[in-house]
Amino acid sequence: MITLGIETSCDETGIAIYDDKKGLLANQLHSQIKLHAKFGGVVPELASRDHIKRLTPLMKAALLEANIKLKDINLIAYTQGPGLLGTLLTGASFAHSIAYANNIPILGIHHLEGHLLAPLLENDSPEFPFLALLVSGGHTQLIHVKSIGDYTLLGESIDDAAGEAFDKTAKLLDLGYPGGPAISKLAESGNSNTYKFTRPMINKPGLDLSFSGLKTQVRNLYQKNINNISNTQIPKFKADIAASFEKTIIDTLIIKTKRALENTKLKTLVISGGVSANKLLRETAKKQFSKKDIKVYYPRIEFCTDNGAMIAIAGSLHGLKNELKKDSLKKAATPPREIFARARWPLNISI
């Protein structure tokens, strides 16, 4: 089965082609970072307009890279949600148009499921069941992944996600957008033991997380001291804040993940989402979990952030599970009355 994957949930336009026998055949991605950087964050209307411009050229490039024709595609998978409603609709409309015009079956894929399954793109990939720590700009969740489409949410951030806290703290420190990589780069020159921020909710039972209070601690510290230090001291002041802040978030994630592993007795851990590219998170996880015989898997760096490849493999796995038949092709030939996109969408769904 050859699957075309389409991702437009936020500010990356991703088109990929995945063959369940040969693996990933093509992966095309356009990032809108430069477009949104001057605004300090994603502008939904600009993001939607840019997706419209990029989708067709990226699909043509992906077909060329894979050395196939559109008629060779057996399934189209697109991100149906969650995400920005306008950007999701650009991908959904594009996907449905191609499916209808070419009589190809189509599946709407949960964006977070794509992140969960991204490590399966690798040759050395995890086997079910496993625990997933999904950390991104919009979500921080601990999930028991039992099989394709069978997920149990164990805990999540009750306010700001880890990636959102990174972005907001970077904005406070005037580091630009996106905030996660900027914080991590600055933290390399800082001392993570300079400021002792509270590791939120680690002494409370359960697996929920919270990063809003940590963000407030950083803001209060910054505003209290920034006008009382010399210009020459400011770079070190910011670097020490970045390092202390990053370490606090990573420590909190690791503590909660340890607790989830103990509760579930699982020995396989997947860390995915944009924040999974964080160097300190990877180093700390390796150090902490190797001692407990926990095998840790990550997506490769280019698949940590949003991309079409993760949507393509998620679609392929669902397609194989459902054993798409000829009657599915007939459904694709009928134009849908409504094209659905979901800004909010719980993960415990079936496709």
Q: Band the pLDDT of 165: cuts 50, 70, 90.
A: very high
pLDDT at 324 over 60: no
**Domains recognised in the chain with CATH numbers:** 2-117+304-332 (3.30.420.40), 127-298 (3.30.420.40)
Cis before 129? omega within 30: yes
Model confidence pLDDT, tens digit, residues 183-232 = 999 999 999 999 999 999 999 999 999 999 999 999 999 999 999 999 99
Per-residue pLDDT for 177 more than 70?
yes
User: For the chain, how many residues are written?
Assistant: 351
> In this predicted model, what pLDDT tens digit does every residue of 86-117 receive, in sequence order?
999 999 999 999 999 999 999 999 999 999 99
CA angle 350, 330, 7 (to 5 degrees): 50
Mean pLDDT, range 10-39, rounded to an integer: 96
Three-class SS state of 13: strand
pLDDT of 281-304, one tens digit each? 999 999 999 888 999 999 999 999
> 195: which residues sit within 8 A by CB, 6+ positions away?
221, 240, 241, 244, 245
* pLDDT surpasses 90 at 327: no
What is the band of 329 on the pLDDT scale with cuts at 50, 70, 90?
A: very low
Question: In which element (H, E) is residue 6 found?
Answer: strand 2-7
What digits encode the pLDDT tens for the residues 242-271? 999 999 999 999 999 999 999 999 999 999
Q: State yes or no: cis peptide before 205, omega within 30 of 0.
A: no
Two tokens, residue 189: 């020159």
Tell whether the model's pLDDT for residue 276 goes beyond 50: yes
DSSP string, 48-78: HHHHHHHHHHHHHHHHHHHT--GGG--EEEE
